[in-house]
């Protein structure tokens, strides 16, 4: 599995943060705030795979297109960026040697906290 930084998703996340569309929640809140599988399916049905991809900082170009397995490192709830998600994905990316994702996620967190 070769997960790469999804640059379009990074730009989307930055624009959301710059537009104050984020939640300053706590580190451990992501398990409660993350979209459910049903929420994901409903979003995909309504908005399509391209929009779904914009909410994930990781993409595996070797995975089948139009599958959830292609996308990883979600950072929000399809409306706003969640600080807890960014914290969670930064540590997961670093643990799994996805250095580019971890580095950009840290910058995104600084953008949220600097507001």
| Residue found under tokens 């139009």 | 66
Confidence of residue 85 (pLDDT cuts 50, 70, 90): very high
pLDDT at res. 115: 53
Instruction: Output 27 or 71, whichever has higher pLDDT.
Output: 71
Radius of gyration of the chain (CA): 13
To the question of pTM greater than 0.85 for the whole model, the response is: yes
Cα 24 to chain centroid, rounded: 15
Residue 97 scores a pLDDT above 60: yes
In this predicted model, what pLDDT tens digit does every residue of 46-70 receive, in sequence order? 999 999 999 999 999 999 989 999 9
Domain ranges of the chain: 4-113
DSSP the chain: ---EE-HHHHHHHHHHHHTT-EE---GGGHHHHSPPHHHHHHHHHHH-HHHHHTTEEEE-TTSPTTSGGGEEEE-BSSSSEEHHHHHHHHHHHHHTT-HHHHHHHHHHHHHHHT-
The mean pLDDT value of the chain amounts to 95
Residue 1 scores a pLDDT above 70: no
Mean pLDDT over 40-46 rounds to: 98
Q: What percent of the chain has pLDDT over 90?
A: 92
């Amino acid at each position: 599995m070769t997960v790469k930084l999804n640059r379009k998703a990074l730009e989307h996340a930055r624009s959301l943060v710059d537009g104050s569309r984020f939640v300053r929640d706590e580190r451990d809140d992501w398990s409660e705030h993350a979209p459910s599988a049903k929420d994901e399916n409903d979003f995909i049905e309504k908005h399509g795979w391209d929009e779904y991809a914009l909410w994930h900082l990781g993409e595996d170009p070797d995975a089948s297109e139009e599958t959830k397995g292609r996308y990883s490192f979600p950072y929000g709830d399809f409306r706003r960026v969640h600080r807890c998600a960014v914290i969670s994905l930064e540590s997961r990316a670093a643990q799994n040697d996805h250095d580019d994702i971890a580095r950009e996620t840290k910058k995104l967190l600084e953008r949220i906290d600097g507001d």
